[in-house]
Amino acid sequence: MTILPPQFQFSQTNLQDYADCPRKFELRHIQRLHYPSIESEPQLEREAHARRGSAFHRLIHQYFSGVSAEAISASAMDEYLSRWWGNFIRAKLPYQPSHSHDAEMTLSTPIDGVRLIAKYDLIAQAETGDWWIMDWKTQARPIPRDILSGKMQTIIYPYVLARAGGSLTADGEKIAPEKIHMAYWYAETGNMELFHYNSDQFAHAEKLLTRTIADIKQRTHFELTTNARQCGFCTYRSLCGRGEAAQGLDESELVLDIDDNFDVDW
């Protein structure tokens, strides 16, 4: 039986790692092993992009915290941040007009004896009574919808909002799945990918997450992924005998943006 670290909480980050490679989940989230292999080349460019992504998220957080668009526009930005910010200011968000916004909001819910946690870039309540999850992505190209729809972030975020969203409502009532929508907004292009939630998807997510968490808890062995392409940009590849040198990563395979570095387990 798996011995999880004390106070372990499941998230889209660690559950996606498990879906991608059980061995990676074990090394990163159970053994908490830091391994020195770089993720992908060129590493300096990736690190610079990650810093810009974090900076862009801070700009959006400032905006929804009441800082004026004019003040933010006057702040120091490089060409990437300026372009992303300009695209955001011109963007028409799907929930206008809005009733309220909660930026950088964290919600959690119990499931199978543990906690499942999600950190949202933005949760917005529309005047229609619908609720929108907004997630800002700064990667160069949008991800194909069929890939994005099966990722843990798309599965977990609406599910947790439906389970724990009562803390955001005026009367404390849970949010019906049919009232929940999720949008990935791409800063580079201004494109959006929309997902509309319903009760069937909620039920499917609950079964999938419960089964996955139960599987993790009863495991005694975590095998390597059979998809060796993922090993080319994994920090543990040399430890697993999957090569020493980093390989280039086709960005179309990178579903979760590299500025999505939220990890509650460390």
Tokens of 139: 């990667």
Looking at residue 164, its amino acid is: A
How does DSSP assign 21-42, residue by residue?
-HHHHIIIIIS-------SSSS
pTM of the model: 0.89
Residue 150 burial (CB count, 10 A): 11
Rg of the chain (C-alpha set):
19
pLDDT digits (tens, 9 = 90+) for 204-244: 999 999 999 999 999 999 999 998 888 877 878 888 887 76
pLDDT digits (tens, 9 = 90+) for 103-160: 999 999 999 999 999 999 999 999 999 999 999 999 888 889 999 999 999 999 999 9
Please provide residue 201's backbone torsions phi and psi, each rounded to the nearest 5 degrees. Answer: -65, -40
